[in-house]
Amino acid sequence: MDPQHVGHGPRHHGTGAAHARRHGPYARAGVAPRLRAVRDDEGAPCGRPGLAVPRGLPRAHARCAALRGSPAEWRRQVRDHRAVVRRLLGLAASFCLAGCAVSDPTQYYTLGQAAAGSVESRANASTPRSGVAGTGTVTIGVGPVIVPSYLDRSQIVTRTSADQVELSMFHRWAEPLADGITRILAEEIGARVPSERIVMFPWRGTVARAIQYQVVVAVVRFDGRPGGDVTLDTRWRILGRDGDELAFRRSTVVEAAAGPGYERMVAAMARALVALGHEIAAEIRSMPEGSRR
């Protein structure tokens, strides 16, 4: 081996190490400071250990730190979120309770007690006439009362024209209209005809066999308008014990309401029924006693 070459070996080896240090990947001027990792107390980027954030990227590091936040900050945000949710649920519950507390604006009506109990009615009933009135042992059945389908509902029906009606959403009957009509007619007939008993349809057994006169009513029209007239148009029959038809009539009663409002209109409807009951009672009273058989 050439001594000259051997003599230069160490220098070459040492020069190579220095060369590696000088010309390595981070040896260029200005690169190492920019790529120097952050200090340990600054933390790893986005919570990833072992990955250093270069100092040349401060904005990215700030965004990661903002997204991560400290544990205390994260717990505070969770508490705030839960508090907001609780407030919203409380408001929703308050609105629900307030809606339940609102009173129902619907008003309910019944056909009032018939005026059949007046002194005049009872005086007429106690005055004997030829026929049924003189016996005092009559059993009268009232019903069935048949109403048209446009009236067979809970809403009170008002007429706006000859061929148009309206249904009130906030003014309703407290009982089926047919039941109210039957009740008023039974009260009126019972007060005007001296009878042993007045029964309302339906009836069964011994009561059915005891009935001597049955009043069947078919309502054609029964409506009006608040502050106007009420019209009651009916066809009615009186049947004997064997079902024979003893009388058939058609009655139309027009009654004026005493003022505006549904209450006065309903009162006018009750007065119209009283007038009809008066007419039916007069027909029963005029029948000969022999018609009961």
pLDDT digits (tens, 9 = 90+) for 36-59: 444 444 444 444 454 444 555 455
- Residues pairing with 173 in the sheet: 109
Q: Please report the pLDDT score of residue 12 as a whole number.
A: 47
Backbone angles phi, psi at 38, to 5 degrees: -70, 160
Residue pair 264/105 in contact (Cβ under 8 Å)? The answer is no
Q: Which of 32-46, 56-70, 247-261 has the lowest mean pLDDT?
A: 32-46
Contact (CB, 8 A) for 116 and 277: yes
CA distances for 42 relative to 33, 50, 57, 63, 204, angstroms: 17, 12, 13, 14, 98
Average pLDDT, the chain: 78
In the predicted structure, residue 260 carries a pLDDT above the cut 50 = yes
Which residue is listed with tokens 């008066």?
A: 278
pTM here is: 0.62
Residue range 98-108, pLDDT digits in tens: 666 567 799 99
Please report how many Cα atoms fall inside a 13 Å half-sphere around the Cα of residue 49, on the Cβ side. 0
Please determine, for residue 169, whether its predicted confidence score (pLDDT) is greater than 80.
yes
- Ordered by where they begin, the domains of the chain are 13-68 (no CATH), 108-292 (3.40.50.10610)
Instruction: Give the relative orientation of helices 262-285 and 177-192 as an angle to the nearest 10 degrees.
Output: 50
Residue 131's contacts (CB-CB under 8 Å, 6 or more residues apart) are 285, 286, 287, 288, 289
Spatial distance between the Cα atoms of 268 and 259, rounded to a whole number of angstroms: 10
DSSP-assigned beta bridge partners for residue 216: 237
